[in-house]
Amino acid sequence: MTVTNQYEPARTNGNAITTEFSFTFKVQDESDLKVYLVDDATNTPVLQTITSDYTVSLNTVTDGGSVTFLSAPAADEDVLIERVVSLVQPTDIPNVGAIVESQLEDEYDNSRIIDQQITEEQSRMYRLTVADSTLFSQMSFDLPTPEAGKGLIWSTSGNSIQNTTSDLSDIDDAVQDATNAAASAQAFAITAGNHATSAQGFAITASNAANTAVTAAGAVRVNKVEWQCNSQTQAVVYSGSYFTGVDSGTLFTFTTNRTFDITGTAGTLGSLNTGSEASSTFYYLIALGDTTNTVSPHIIGVSAANYASFGTGDLTGNYSDYDDYKRIGVLRNHSTGHLVQGYYVDKRFFTANPIIAPAAASTSSASLVDLDFSTYLESFIRRAEFQMEVANGANASLSWKDFSNEFPVVEATAGDTNRNSFEILLDSSQIVEGKTTANTLSLACISYYDDLTEEGQ
């Protein structure tokens, strides 16, 4: 016979029904086959045993044959059929004497099969392109002596492979230290609880330094944005804020203050992307970035309905210089048509004046059930901070259930007329439950938490 087909291992999906699987490459003996079942989830091959697990039938006219399993492979398994022959020459050709032609042909076929086997193995190896092959004589692919805990990198000259100078664990520690530094800076800004220019400048400077260290260590970049609603119609994103684009993963930095005006011309930078402002409405504040660095980051406002389908494809017209974006917060337009004034720092928006909860939150009932603050807390908010007050303090007490439905989160005792702050996790219904034994409960929301790492909530 001849070797008419190229060789490539045959891999076929199982379906828990089929037992026979074919292959098209030449095999001189069924013992030359290696048959595996490969787990789809882990890609781990398990060698099967001939006769116990399968039988082989070789074609007599054409190359190839088939493998028949005693039990059909499962739907989450692949059948892998490989040809493996020994790299030897088994035919003994006598010096003087007759030799059968089929012996020579079998040996020629065996040599060609070995060539194909080696070629297939080499095709799975790393290799230089034809264009790079001329550089081969200038490069060393020898591996250095292994050093525990080190990684392998190209040298600065790019012509040899060397061990890293630092242990991988040291690099990980540097990343963690930088991350901890960023967290400490954020915690400081939250504890300060005010938006004085000096405090904000300190938080931005500390976080920027930490972000630079994290980036240098190869860690994932984090978002850091600060903005303020300084009027009833405008919000300002401060210079020094930065964000990671949704599509490109590029880190963009604001080098100048950017102002958003809800009354501006729709479709222009610094305004709503479409339509005019509406009262009692939430708007997403979107940062725009340009990966070519031709233009600096800017901002627009997008309604919740439009943001549900917002993407890079919407960056046309007045936004055509930009090719990436990121949600950096949410604005609330009050029932009076004025933006709720306050400032945004470290994923929290702090109101300039606490927003009093719906009327249902002010009651003298002995049990408050299912207080729903969804009129203020949108679906993407999972953590909010409240102030509470028990008025007319005779024999009054108050407690709250948290996300795990357990009392108390915090308790106000009899005669406590001071406002007490507490933080609570919300479930998908955005419901907070509270109860008081007597008197009137007054509740106000002073801030909410907005997680910038989960885009599209």
User: Tell me: the pLDDT tens digits for 140-153?
Assistant: 777 888 888 888 88
* Among 300, 318, 345, residue at a domain's last position: 345
19 and 102 belong to one structural domain: yes
* Among 315, 345, 375, residue at a domain's last position: 345
337 and 234 belong to one structural domain: yes
Structural domain that includes position 27: 10-123
**Rounded average pLDDT over 49-57:** 95
d(CA 124, CA 115): 15
Amino acid sitting at position 314? D
- In eight-state DSSP terms, residue 32 is G
Quick one: which H or E segment has residue 20?
A: strand 20-23
Cβ density class 262-289: b for 16+ within 10 Å, e for less = bebeeeebbbbbeeebeeebbbbbbbbb
Could you tell me if residue 238 is inside a domain?
Answer: yes
**pLDDT tens digit string along 112-139?**
888 888 888 877 777 666 666 656 666 7
Kindly indicate the confidence band of residue 205, based on its pLDDT and cuts at 50, 70 and 90. low
23 and 62 belong to one structural domain: yes
Provide the pairing of β-strand 251-253 with 258-261. unpaired
Kindly indicate the confidence band of residue 160, based on its pLDDT and cuts at 50, 70 and 90. confident
Nearest to 88 by CA among 59, 112, 114, 64: 114
97 and 17 belong to one structural domain: yes
Q: For residues 434, 423, 352 and 450, what is the CA-based torsion angle, rounded to 10 degrees? A: -120
239 and 318 belong to one structural domain: yes
Domain tally for the chain?
A: 3
Report helix angle 168-192 to 197-216, nearest 10.
Answer: 170
Q: Could you give the percent of the chain with pLDDT greater than 90?
A: 28
341 and 255 belong to one structural domain: yes
Which conformational region is residue 65 in: left (phi greater than 0), alpha (psi within -120 to 50 degrees), or beta? left
d(CA 339, CA 346): 20
* Among 345, 364, 386, residue at a domain's last position: 345
Could you tell me if residue 329 is inside a domain?
Answer: yes
394 and 338 belong to one structural domain: no
According to the model, what pLDDT value does residue 329 have?
Answer: 81
374 and 328 belong to one structural domain: no
Nearest to 81 by CA among 92, 99, 93, 68: 68
85 and 68 belong to one structural domain: yes
Q: Which residues pair with 356 in a beta bridge?
A: 444
352 and 413 belong to one structural domain: yes
φ, ψ of residue 114 to 5 degrees: the values are: -65, -40
**pLDDT tens digit string along 264-321?**
999 999 999 998 999 878 888 999 999 999 999 999 999 878 887 889 999 999 999 9
Nearest to 184 by CA among 216, 217, 218, 209: 209
Amino acid sitting at position 442? S
Weakest mean pLDDT among 88-102, 150-164, 367-381 = 367-381
Average per-residue pLDDT in the chain? 75
CA–chain centroid gap for 309, Å, is: 19
φ, ψ of residue 191 to 5 degrees: the values are: -60, -40
30 and 78 belong to one structural domain: yes
Could you tell me if residue 61 is inside a domain?
Answer: yes
Gyration radius from the chain CA atoms: 35
Q: Could you give the percent of the chain with pLDDT greater than 70?
A: 65
Strand order across the 227-229 sheet: 258-261, 234-237, 227-229, 342-345, 348-356, 441-449, 383-390, 420-425
370 and 428 belong to one structural domain: yes
- Please say whether the beta carbons of 264 and 235 come within 8 A: no
Could you tell me if residue 207 is inside a domain?
Answer: no
- In eight-state DSSP terms, residue 50 is B
According to the model, what pLDDT value does residue 176 have?
Answer: 82
- In eight-state DSSP terms, residue 84 is -
Could you tell me if residue 158 is inside a domain?
Answer: no
Could you tell me if residue 170 is inside a domain?
Answer: no
d(CA 203, CA 344): 12
Q: Is the pTM of this model over 0.75?
A: no
**pLDDT tens digit string along 428-457?**
555 555 555 544 555 555 666 666 555 543
Domain at 386, CATH number: 2.60.120
Could you tell me if residue 134 is inside a domain?
Answer: no
Could you tell me if residue 187 is inside a domain?
Answer: no
Q: Which residues pair with 383 in a beta bridge?
A: 425
